Structure 1
Amino acid sequence: MEKIIVLDTNVLLHDPQAIFSFQYHKVVIPAVVLEEIDSKKRLADELGRNARHISRLLDSLRKQGHLHNGIALPGGGILKVELNHRSFERVQSLFSEISNDNRILAVALNYQLEQKDKADKRQVVIVSKDVLVRIKADVLGLLAEDYLPDQSVISSDGYTGYGTIYVHPSVIDEFYSNRFLPVAMIPVKGRLRPNEFVILKDEIGTSKSALLKVSQDGCRLEPLYLSNDPVWGISARSAQQRMALELLLNDDIPLVTLSGKAGTGKTLLALAAGLMKVEDEHKYKKLLIARPVVPMGKDIGYLPGEKEEKLRPWMQPIYDNLEFLFDTKKTGDIDKILLGMGSIQVEALTYIRGRSIPGQFIIIDEAQNLSRHEVKTIVSRVGEGSKIVLMGDTEQIDHPYLDAVSNGLTHIIESFKQESISGHMSLEKGERSRLAQLAADLL
């Protein structure tokens, strides 16, 4: 049955191509949505880019006819900019404020009331990424849904990068004898992915176990090549950290993703691995560290000084970890060290568009605050001979239009999990302190 889809502004600002995602249904854009998009088009961030994108897209569609009369979409549906459903009376009885959200709800409600008397009545659905708009729609008797086509994760758990499999002890013995196992010998549901880790445990219940990694061709289970020796003074404190270091120090895996709660060691492990590869092994020319400029809570506004001074508050978590790795004693010592080395660059992602970055070890922190488009822009900047590490905590998203399944970090994890050039590890156990671990679990 054909539906009438009423789009909220945040859907178009999140994905300008959303109007093509509803197949043969009628897509309605209320006039107030155009006004909200117009107010965002001068922004220099992702919202501004998307506002300009949807504006140009709608302008190109005008060639097919007047948008307020409705035009045909490639997928078979109809797109219409609604001008005549601006009556606010029915919504005002419950929500008296004449806000843009309430006007969008009024459009959907008026459509629904119109459909009641029609023989071929169609279901009206308001699509919004704003939870409160969906709740208000429910109060008004409207069907409301989140915008879901961009969500990457199908399962509830997502891809962790490792799994535990219980086998007969003879299988573990064979691995230690031959130093490899064919994947066909492992009783696993589905298919093991390249560079995925496997923890074999004795199904009888003894302490016998083995830690293995799937080969890049996906055919064999191989031992970890790295010993548990410290990396720039940092030793793995858990099996997951050891697996993460295996990925970070493997030059044949140019894309590594790390996820986990605060305090699990993501940033520290990546920095330690990057320093070893750049300073000790000279595998890469430079260590480039960047993170998105997205504030937690209220923004403090403009910052004084040159670019480096402006970036310092945003990059302070990176400097904290570098101070720990270099074991500095005084404030300002780390700046002198970095200035003297010249091979470590701390940047904001604002300046990465248009660059080509060959021969560098690139670390992108707080990647959960990136959209799918921003992640694509960043990874497509990686030049020949570079390695990129993206990491973050999908439970700490500060971006207003992203969630645990639509953010860029989750998107790249799920998109690349079958590729031989990538590896992922989900870190679980907090190592910062007992208090930090309890805070991450309980709060």
Structure 2
Amino acid sequence: MITKCYLLDTSIILDDTQNIIFLWQNAQNQLFICDVVIEELDKKKDLQNETGYFAREFFRCINSDNLSKGGSKGGKIATIAKENNDFIQEICFKFENYSIPLFLIYRPRYKLPPQEHSYNDSKLIEIAKDYHLTLLTNDISLKVRTQAQGIPAQSLFRDRVENPSDIDFWHSFEVHKDKALTDLAQDENFSKLKQWSLIQIDEMDNTDSALYKTGKKIFGLKVGREFMELNLDEILKTHQPYITPINLEQKMLYALLTHPQNNLTIATGSTGSGKTLIALQAGITLVKNGVVDGIVYMRNTITANDKEAELGYRKGDESQKLGYFMYPLYSAINFTIDKLQESSLAKRIEYRGEVNGIQKQAATEYFIQKHNIEIVDIAHARGISIGNKFVIFDEVQNASNATIKLIGTRIGQGSKIVFLGDWAQIDHPYLSKFRNGALSLLSKALKDDFIAGIQLRQTIRSDVASWFGENF
């Protein structure tokens, strides 16, 4: 039985073509698109980014061989089409084992006169109104305009997380000083935790009449079914990273990333939390210890919906174009070089050159070559295999689940990957702070033993940056 009839906006398809499968709900819903969407997708199909890929993927899934033999739709819809001189064709969206009917509405002449702004949006609203359809869009302004005219409109709520700040991987326990830490595995609450849970133990002692905390804290992870104690300061003393993590969260992130059994991590935090810097230090340690051959850095080249800021519009070769978008990495490298130069005369001689800038100056270039750091454009990741590398995927909040899957399936034998991001800082036009790649991974890390997760809540900022963070 059909429960809902949706008119899909272009933003739904460009977010992820598999949204069509989700919305169909095993034939419970009917899905419509119109000529406006086809036209907009056609303009996007040549882009060499995620948007272009989804446009091409959609057309692959509805190629001419998939035209329905049933022709146009009958009944009430056919009557409305006849009244408006529209054409309706049922086409088939084929993906893997799914064959989903889509009804394409083509209107040769729209009622509203041409307008300078948002003409396509107005066309969509007209179709939704005439056919009594619910307009489904991730474009908030379009949704509001539609609802203001009394026409039902919704956003896509797939994978939405209502309270992202409540996601927490820390768990606290109290253990008497005379008990072995291995006994924690017998604790009922501990046994329910997923692997890679972050554990804080408060040591307890007692007098004849009272139980009290000694003040000693022990930190560790749940690995397998057991508690693994982490002597964080000893780990750092042994590894001697260029930059030493300065708070508990940074130390735990470093320990997670360098743990021999952990291959997949999601770490989120706002600007100043040190996530990129610590990930870089962990990667360098893994390279030095021969665990991996090198570091691969990726970052979504998505900006605040500024077409001119896309990779293809920048001047220079691919390396120079990527440089504009790789500031977080260069900033972490330059900070590391500054500290190395301060540490000794030998390091000042080794890392010669100006490092204060996003362009790869002499010292930065030398650092990248010495530590075998490679920068990869996500658009070119399809078809490659990344083996025996430490992969840093930055700004994952601006990535869709499809992009995450694309990168994840490129990871070869012997590689580790960490996804970094700030779920509250969204530049992607079709994602939000309640629904983005970072939150998808955090949600999985809460339940899945294969992936470790941590949220960095402490930030290290200047007084000016702190003021703006608190007041705006």
Sort the TM-score into its range (normalised by shorter chain): 0.7 to 0.9
After superposition, the C-alpha distances for 1:120-153 in whole angstroms (9 at most, x for unaligned) are xxxx42111011111112211122111123x153
Counterpart position of 1:2: 3
Which of 90, 99, 104 in structure 1 is aligned with 2:124? 104
Query: Secondary structure of the equivalent of 1:29?
Result: strand
How many residue pairs get matched?
Answer: 418
- Structure 1 84/377 Cα, relative in aligned 2: closer, same or farther at 3 Å? closer
Which of 159, 176, 185 in structure 2 is aligned with 1:173? 176
Shift of 1:271: 0.7
- Indicate conservation of the 8 Å contact 1:38/1:51, yes or no: yes
| Equivalent residues in 2 for 1:41-440, closer than 5 Å | 41-59=45-63, 60-66=65-71, 68-70=88-90, 79-83=102-106, 88=111, 99-112=119-132, 124-149=133-158, 151=159, 153=161, 156-157=164-165, 159-163=167-171, 165=172, 171-174=174-177, 177-185=179-187, 187=189, 191-201=192-202, 206=213, 208=215, 210-217=217-224, 219-227=225-233, 229=236, 231-279=240-288, 281-296=289-304, 298=306, 299-300=308-309, 302-327=313-338, 328=341, 330-331=353-354, 332-338=361-367, 341=370, 343-440=372-469
- Indicate conservation of the 8 Å contact 2:91/2:104, yes or no: no
Q: C-alpha separation between the residues in 2 aligned to 1:110 and 1:261?
A: 45
- Structure 1 306/85 Cα, relative in aligned 2: closer, same or farther at 3 Å? closer
Using the size of structure 1 for normalisation, the TM-score is 0.83
Shift of 1:85: 9.7
Structure 1 window deviating more from structure 2 (58-67 vs 242-251): it is 58-67
Query: Secondary structure of the equivalent of 1:199?
Result: strand
Q: C-alpha separation between the residues in 2 aligned to 1:268 and 1:407?
A: 23
Structure 1 window deviating more from structure 2 (424-433 vs 153-162): it is 153-162
- Indicate conservation of the 8 Å contact 1:70/1:81, yes or no: yes
Q: C-alpha separation between the residues in 2 aligned to 1:148 and 1:397?
A: 16
Which amino acid in 2 is paired with 1:193?
Answer: K
Q: C-alpha separation between the residues in 2 aligned to 1:343 and 1:366?
A: 22
- Indicate conservation of the 8 Å contact 2:296/2:374, yes or no: yes
Q: C-alpha separation between the residues in 2 aligned to 1:208 and 1:53?
A: 58
- Indicate conservation of the 8 Å contact 1:128/1:145, yes or no: yes
Q: C-alpha separation between the residues in 2 aligned to 1:96 and 1:344?
A: 47
Shift of 1:244: 0.8
- Structure 1 214/97 Cα, relative in aligned 2: closer, same or farther at 3 Å? closer
- Structure 1 387/77 Cα, relative in aligned 2: closer, same or farther at 3 Å? closer
Query: Secondary structure of the equivalent of 1:236?
Result: coil
- Indicate conservation of the 8 Å contact 1:17/1:54, yes or no: no
Q: C-alpha separation between the residues in 2 aligned to 1:293 and 1:335?
A: 21
- Indicate conservation of the 8 Å contact 1:405/1:411, yes or no: no
After superposition, the C-alpha distances for 1:220-270 in whole angstroms (9 at most, x for unaligned) are 333224326364243333222121111011021011111011110001101
Q: Is it true that 1:36 corresponds to 2:40 in the alignment?
A: yes
Structure 1 window deviating more from structure 2 (246-255 vs 234-243): it is 234-243
Counterpart position of 1:118: none
Aligned-residue sequence identity (percent) comes to: 24
- Structure 1 86/22 Cα, relative in aligned 2: closer, same or farther at 3 Å? farther
Q: C-alpha separation between the residues in 2 aligned to 1:137 and 1:207?
A: 62
Q: C-alpha separation between the residues in 1 aligned to 2:100 and 2:280?
A: 50
After superposition, the C-alpha distances for 1:173-197 in whole angstroms (9 at most, x for unaligned) are 25x7413343552658x94221011
Which amino acid in 1 is paired with 2:33?
Answer: I
Structure 1 window deviating more from structure 2 (377-386 vs 178-187): it is 178-187
Which amino acid in 2 is paired with 1:62?
Answer: L
- Structure 1 309/126 Cα, relative in aligned 2: closer, same or farther at 3 Å? closer
- Indicate conservation of the 8 Å contact 2:68/2:91, yes or no: no
Q: C-alpha separation between the residues in 1 aligned to 2:364 and 2:332?
A: 13
- Indicate conservation of the 8 Å contact 1:180/1:223, yes or no: no
Q: C-alpha separation between the residues in 2 aligned to 1:138 and 1:415?
A: 34
* Residue segments in structure 1 that go unaligned for 5+ positions in a row: 113-123
* Residue segments in structure 2 that go unaligned for 5+ positions in a row: 73-87, 205-210, 342-347, 355-360
How large is the Cα RMSD of the aligned pairs? 3.2
After superposition, the C-alpha distances for 1:192-229 in whole angstroms (9 at most, x for unaligned) are 22101133458988563634434232x33332243263
Query: Secondary structure of the equivalent of 1:244?
Result: helix
Which amino acid in 2 is paired with 1:293?
Answer: T
- Structure 1 38/415 Cα, relative in aligned 2: closer, same or farther at 3 Å? same
- Structure 1 205/140 Cα, relative in aligned 2: closer, same or farther at 3 Å? farther
